[in-house]
Amino acid sequence: MSTHPVVGITAYDVHATFGGSSERASLVPGRYVRNVMRAGGAPVLVPAGADARSVVARLDALVLSGGPDVDPGRYGEEPHERTRVAEPGRDEGEAALLAAALDAGTPVLAICRGMQLTNVVHGGTLHQHLPDVVGSDLHLLASGAFGRNTVDVAPGSALHAALGPRTCLAACHHHQAVSQVGAGLVAVAWSADGTIEALESDRGLPLIAVQWHPEQVDDPELFDWIVGLGRAAGQR
C-alpha cells in the first residue's frame, strides 16, 4: 500500500500561452503542488467539470484552492461593483466536489476562495467587499502582494490542534470574507478587526477552511494536517 496519499487540488480554467498559441488550460499555482509533495502527498489536479463522486472516490484528501469570487447569486445577492466571479462552472463543480468529499468522509482543506465557497455551500453569506465593513485594506494589499495578519485561533478546535499556537501570522490576500456562518460550520479563528479567518465542521467532519494562504509562506502545518489525514484514510 502506498504511503503517499492522493490529494486532489482544484484547478483554474484560464487562458494560457503554449508555444506562442493561446488556449484554455487547467492550471493550479505551483505552491499548492509543492506543499502537498513536501508533506508526503501525491498531488493531482482536479479540473472544473470533473465528475465529483467518481473523482472523490479515487482521492484520499481534497484541497479547494483560492481564486476569483464566488457568484453572489448563490447566496441570494446582486454583485457588488468590485465582485469578480470565477469562470463559468467552477462554483458548481467545486460545490459538487465538496459535497461528495463530505459525504464520503474525505478530508478537506479549503483555502481563501475555498473557504468562502464552503460557507456558501452550507447556506452562509459573504461580505462582498471587506473594506466596506472593516474600513481598511489590511486584508488586500497591492495586486499580487500578500499581507501578514495576526489571527487568533480558538483553543480546542481542530485548527488549533493542527497549528499549535493560539495565534498565527497569516498570509492574506482577499477582499471578501464570511458574513453569516453556514449551518454545520463553526468559526474558529478571527483577525483583530473581527473578520472570520477560519471555519470547521461542528459535526466532527475532517474539514478545515482558512481565509489565508498557507501555501504562500513557510507555513507547513495545514498541509501536514491534510496529507496526514489522507494517509490515514488511504490505509483504512
CA 224/CA 234 separation, integer angstroms: 15
Q: Which of 94, 197, 200, 215 is an active site residue? A: 215
The H-or-E segment that residue 221 falls in is: helix 221-234
Other CB atoms within 10 Å distance of the CB of residue 49: 14
69-83 as b/e, with b when 16 or more CB fall inside 10 Å?
A: bbbbebbeeeebeeb
159 burial type by CB count under 10 A (0-12 exposed, 13-18 middle, 19+ buried): buried
Active site residue 172: no
Q: Which of 112, 173, 174, 197 is an active site residue? A: 112
Active site residue 213: yes
Other CB atoms within 10 Å distance of the CB of residue 103: 12
Active site residue 94: no
Residue 43 in 3-state DSSP? strand
Dihedral sign, Cα of residue 181, residue 186, residue 191, residue 192:
positive
CA 86/CA 63 separation, integer angstroms: 17
Q: Which of 139, 160, 174, 213 is an active site residue? A: 213
CA 196/CA 178 separation, integer angstroms: 6
Active site residues per annotation: 112, 213, 215
